[in-house]
């Protein structure tokens, strides 16, 4: 197992390097880099000031070709963003910094990428942790109950609800929750901005907890519903498959209680496919769909930061967040493989013995 872990850790290096390299290359061919973005802003500012730049006052990405901008100023902007250096030199400089976990400085937030990620991480972690644990806390018991009552009215009704939840994207459900409970056309029960109230620091401990739960109810609900459907059906199918096996009939013939057979024998054997889904569920809970949920509920997290950095061509933030997300994803997958052995010691990562 240790040899396997060492190999996996070594494989992470070229995987991470390849993802960063491809992203860096794509950025070199993307139109409207950070230099052009800044020049467009200066150009549009000149148009609003009445300068003859040929640019409309709306500004934005309608760049007019550096007219009215001094060539020396253009070079200063290139130097500021490091684009006075050739791409290969910038690439090696990026890799050297990432090797020491130095993610650079944001072009537009005027602070280090590491501190920027640290500021936004609390929102994403809050949503991700709640989504991940609630997904399993709901799906596993519900899947077991459906397997035990397979073919019953309970199984039919819950399957229908689960499929409806799976078919409904999180942001659509979020809009419905806002309309129903967020002061839309019906009830004004839950807040729609931030994870805490403005006076959160003035509240007592119990009031702080209640205020936090009050704020996360709608975004977490919108994130969880579409995720736990797959786990519920997977749990049900795996339990049904195990229930039909010979060892279950033998355990029942020995006089063991149905609860003991279910949770001690069947559950352990049916747990392995659930463990294999840990990495995907974890990554999905933290990163997949976080952009839409954070935007919809005005939560300033990593999803919104990544989206804004792509729009603003803030390359250090794009590469820094991608580096962090990829590294976390690879480590979580490795932990998932380790969990296989803990659940079922029969699994061997080494070559088969003669």
Measure the CA–CA gap between 301 and 305, rounded to whole angstroms.
Answer: 6
What are the extents of the domains in the chain?
Answer: 31-86, 113-343
**In which band, very low, low, confident or very high, does the pLDDT at 57 lie, cut at 50, 70 and 90?**
very low
Measured CA to CA, the distance from residue 323 to residue 105 in angstroms comes to: 14
Of the options 3.30.1330.10, 1.10.287.1080, 1.10.3720.10, 3.40.640.10, the CATH number for the domain spanning 113-343: 1.10.3720.10
Q: Residues 205-249: pLDDT tens digits? A: 888 888 888 888 888 888 888 777 778 888 888 888 888 888 888
CA 68 – CA 169 distance, rounded (Å): 47
pLDDT tens per residue, range 138-157: 888 898 888 888 888 998 99
pLDDT tens string 97-133: 888 788 888 888 888 888 888 888 888 888 888 888 8
Q: If you average pLDDT over residues 28-55, what whole number do you get?
A: 61
CA 327 to chain centre: 13
Task: Assess contact for 106 and 314: CB atoms under 8 A.
Answer: yes
- What DSSP character marks residue 53? S
Q: % helix / strand / coil in the chain, to the nearest 5?
A: 70, 0, 25
Structure tokens at 194: 């931030």
Given a contact cutoff of 8 angstroms between Cβ atoms, the answer to whether 222 and 296 are in contact is: yes
Burial of 310 (0-12, 13-18, 19+ CB in 10 A): middle
What is d(CA 286, CA 133) in angstroms, rounded to the nearest whole number? 11
Collapse the DSSP code of 182 into the 3-class scheme (helix H, G, I; strand E, B; otherwise coil) and give the result: strand
Distances (CA, A) of 164 to 157, 186, 193: 11, 22, 27
Predicted model pTM: 0.69
């Amino acid at each position: 197992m240790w040899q396997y872990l060492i190999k996996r850790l070594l494989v992470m290096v070229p995987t991470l390097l390849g993802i960063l390299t491809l992203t860096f290359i794509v950025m070199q061919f993307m139109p409207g880099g950070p230099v052009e973005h800044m020049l467009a802003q200066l150009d549009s500012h000149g148009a609003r000031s009445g300068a003859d730049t040929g640019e409309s006052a709306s500004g934005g990405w309608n760049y007019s070709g550096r007219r009215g901008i001094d060539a020396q100023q253009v070079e200063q902007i290139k130097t500021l963003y490091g684009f006075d250096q050739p791409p290969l030199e910038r690439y090696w400089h990026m890799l050297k910094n990432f090797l020491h976990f130095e993610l650079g400085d944001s072009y537009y937030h005027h602070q280090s990428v590491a501190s920027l990620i640290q500021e936004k991480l609390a929102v994403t972690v809050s949503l991700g942790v709640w989504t991940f644990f609630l997904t399993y806390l709901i799906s596993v018991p519900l899947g077991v109950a459906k397997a035990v009552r397979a073919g019953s009215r309970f199984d039919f009704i819950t399957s229908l609800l689960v499929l409806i939840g799976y078919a409904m994207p999180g942001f659509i459900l979020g809009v419905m929750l806002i309309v129903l409970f967020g002061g839309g056309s019906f009830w004004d029960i839950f807040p729609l901005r931030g994870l805490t109230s403005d006076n959160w620091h003035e509240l007592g401990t119990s009031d702080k907890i209640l205020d936090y739960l009050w704020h996360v109810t709608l975004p977490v609900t919108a994130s969880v519903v579409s995720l736990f459907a797959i786990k519920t059906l997977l749990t049900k199918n795996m339990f049904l498959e195990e229930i039909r096996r010979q060892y279950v009939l033998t355990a029942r013939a020995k006089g063991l209680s149905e609860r003991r057979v279910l949770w001690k024998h069947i559950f352990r054997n049916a747990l392995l496919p659930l463990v294999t889904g840990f990495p995907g569920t974890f990554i999905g809970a933290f990163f997949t769909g976080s952009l839409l949920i954070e935007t919809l509920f005005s939560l300033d997290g990593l999803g919104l930061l990544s989206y804004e950095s792509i729009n603003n061509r803030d390359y250090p933030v794009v590469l820094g967040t991608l580096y962090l997300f990829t590294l976390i994803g690879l480590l979580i997958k490795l932990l998932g493989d380790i969990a296989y052995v803990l659940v079922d010691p029969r699994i061997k990562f080494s070559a088969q013995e003669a």
